[in-house]
Amino acid sequence: MWERGLRTPELETFEAIADYFNVNMDYLKGKSETKVLDLGKDTDFSYYCDKAVDDYANRLFKNPDLRILLDATDKLDKEDIDLLVQFAKKMKGTKEE
């Protein structure tokens, strides 16, 4: 129905479609030729409500080495990840829990 212009989706549906295709909602509506938001520019926009999550997402976006480390964890089992966490804590100088 939406494709034929007979109705428009709810806001939550627009958000879900935009998230799925990794585009912004204005692009879906035909109001922008820019598909994705440029998080590399200085902007007050925050995709995430939680500031800590937003900070981590921006660090991952800006640092390819962090993305490599995160991507590598997809292929590790829980024991290997636990071992890496212990190693990182020792490198940082924190005590084991």
Residue 36: per-residue pLDDT = 59
Q: What is the 3-state secondary structure (H, E, C) of 84-96?
A: HHHHHHHHHCCCC
pLDDT tens per residue across span 1-14: 566 777 777 888 87
Beta-carbon contacts of 8 under 8 Å, excluding residues fewer than 6 positions away, are 2
Q: Are residues 92 and 54 in the same domain?
A: yes
Model pTM score:
0.38
Using CA atoms, how far residue 95 sits from 19, 81, 83, in Å, is 39, 17, 14
Domain count for the chain? 2
DSSP tally for the chain: helices H, then strands E = 5, 0
More confident of the two residues 9 and 77? 77
Q: Are the C-beta atoms of residues 35 and 27 closer than 8 Å to each other?
A: yes
More confident of the two residues 56 and 79? 79
Domain span including residue 75: 39-97
Q: Are residues 3 and 47 in the same domain?
A: no
Tokens, residue 64: 């390819």
